[in-house]
Amino acid sequence: MNIKIQNLTKRYGEQKAVDDISFEVKTGEILGFLGPNGAGKTTTMKLITNFLEVQEGDIIINGKSVKGHADTLKRHIGYLPEHNPLYTDMAVLDYLAFCAALQQVPKNTIPNKVREMVRLCGLDREKHKRINELSKGYRQRVGLAQAMIHDPEILILDEPTTGLDPNQIVEIRELIRQLGRQKTVILSTHILPEVEATCDRILIINKGKIVADGTSATLRKQAQGKEVLRVQIEDGENETVYDALQNVYTTELIDIVDTAKNVFEIQSVADMSSKREIFKLCAEKGWVLTEMTALETKLEDIFRDLTLN
Amino acid sequence: MNPIWTITKRELASFFDSLIAYILLIIFLGFCGIFTWLTGSDIFLMGQASLQGFFNIAIWVLLFFVPALTMRMVAEEKKSGTIELLLTKAVTDRQLVIGKFLACLLLVIIALLFTLPYYISVSMLGNIDHGATWCGYLGLTLMGAAYIAIGLFASSITDNQIVAFLLAITFGVVFMVVLGFVGNSLPGFIGETLSYLDFRGHFGSMARGVIDTKDVVYFLSVTALGLLLTEVIIGRLRT
């Protein structure tokens, strides 16, 4: 199911939590929603899941507007809210069965569905416990299980890996990636490596507006089109090497990282690569090139660039 | 399965799992029992095989019993955030409200069923007016329904259970005492209207064995209005 968001705006009094955003997510796509606290991620998710009513703009799911079709569309959406609210007085199995029944899963298939979710989310040992006896990580799994129990075409996950230990994070990411092949997934997170590991596409939102949209590779390119190389050259005098590098026509900026070991960071002129020229230079001068690494702009830097203004 | 019934079942299970149901049933039966059989205007003093005394007590006990049931219904969901879970599932706001209403109503009916031994005992003591007694039970159920709707409304406008409880009792007292009192002391149309809205007048005639459509419609209207307002308040969470 495709989700199309058109000029969506949400006001809380005077303040705009979401400010005229538009984007589209297609089936089989995992969209990572990034942004600082209060950027409007959760509000957007609440609007898509129809917890909040759309007042300005529109959300079209599978060709139907959420205005007027909310009650039929909700059945196709699985939602894990931000703080993962649960009926803590219920046992895991009862709770999952309750959620399945609410999402109109046919009664005779509910036990199978519950069993499947318990297996998928690794809840087998905890399934008879009450939810208030579970640790945070297991509660998060229960939250994920309730979101997926009716096999929804759309999954909206608000910070799905908070509270999980590193092993669980890897498992959940893997699970989301698997599910994402047939479903439309939107997930929000603060953890940047997570987006890179899980998502096909990244949307960065700040102060209610979209500031970047694309794969992590295209975002990198957008943020900094210039190549940065880390180079170590042995057998040369530091200053001579520095001067020689500066004379290479493809280089723009040279930083000395380590004088003793002759380590430099070289930024190339836009749309040019200095790799071949540096290699040629070393060969010419008889220097030994012991390291040449292309440095990638970190997603953290892109994020900071786009959201700190 | 119908979502209304799914919600009703969960709420009922939660009443019984958390012991709330047992405690409230014991309190309800305790108070009704003491004041019907042992002290106050007790049955043996009246010299009549009638449950009138019990009915007069029960309407007051329900005034406290029902708010204790309804106080957590919406307030707790709002506080813990589970309302977000419910409202994003394939359930309409109306189904949610009706589901919760039915759970409370079933518990009130269970409480009333436990008083049937009173009926049986009294009917063995003398010539009881069966019609009047069943009418009284119907009146109690209708009044319970109205209390529940008022309680749900009180619970929906706050996220604090204690506030919801106190508000529900206050609204109940308004319908039980204040309206009648103010209505009687005011002349003309306003006075009559306010007196008409009084719970006790409508219940009184039912407990005497008179089923007047007016009374039934009155209780059903209060119930419907309370539920509708609750639905509206829940809908406003979406804005």
A93 min Cα distance to partner chain B (Å): 13
pLDDT tens, position by position, A30-76:
999 888 888 889 999 999 999 999 988 999 998 889 888 888 899 99
Q: Which of A73, A82, A87, A95 to mutate to test the interface with B (most CBs of B within 10 A)?
A: A87
Q: Do B3 and A90 touch (CB under 8 A)?
A: no
Lookup: tokens for B52: 């009138």
DSSP-assigned letters across all residues of A229-249: EEEEEESS-HHHHHHHHHHST
What does the alpha-carbon distance between residue A112 and residue A253 come to, in Å, rounded to a whole number?
62
pLDDT tens, position by position, A103-142:
999 999 999 999 999 998 888 898 899 999 998 888 988 9
B77 min Cα distance to partner chain A (Å): 9
Domain boundaries along the sequence of chain A: 3-214, 226-296
- Give bridge partners of residue A184 from the DSSP assignment: A154
What CATH code is assigned to A3-214? Answer: 3.40.50.300
Chain A interface with B: residues with Cβ < 8 Å:
46, 49-53, 55, 71, 74-75, 77, 79, 81, 83, 85-90, 94, 98-99, 101-104, 107, 146
pLDDT tens, position by position, B67-108:
999 999 999 999 999 999 999 999 999 999 999 999 999 999
A21 min Cα distance to partner chain B (Å): 18
| Highest CATH level, class, for A226-296 | alpha beta
A156: nearest Cα among A215, A82, A77, A53: A77
Domain boundaries along the sequence of chain B: 3-236
Q: Do A83 and B81 touch (CB under 8 A)?
A: yes
HSE of A226 in the Cβ direction (CA atoms, 13 Å)? 13
A-chain CB neighbours of B84 within 8 Å are: 46, 51, 81, 85
Lookup: tokens for A118: 């318990």
List the end-to-end C-alpha distance of chain A, in Å, as a whole number: 36
The confidence score (pLDDT) of residue B152 equals: 97
For A94, which residue in chain B has the nearest alpha carbon? B10
Helix, strand, coil percentages (3-state) for chain A, rounded to 5, are 40, 30, 30
Using CB atoms, pick whichever of B3, B85, B92 lies closest to residue A85.
B85
- What mean pLDDT is reported for chain A? 86
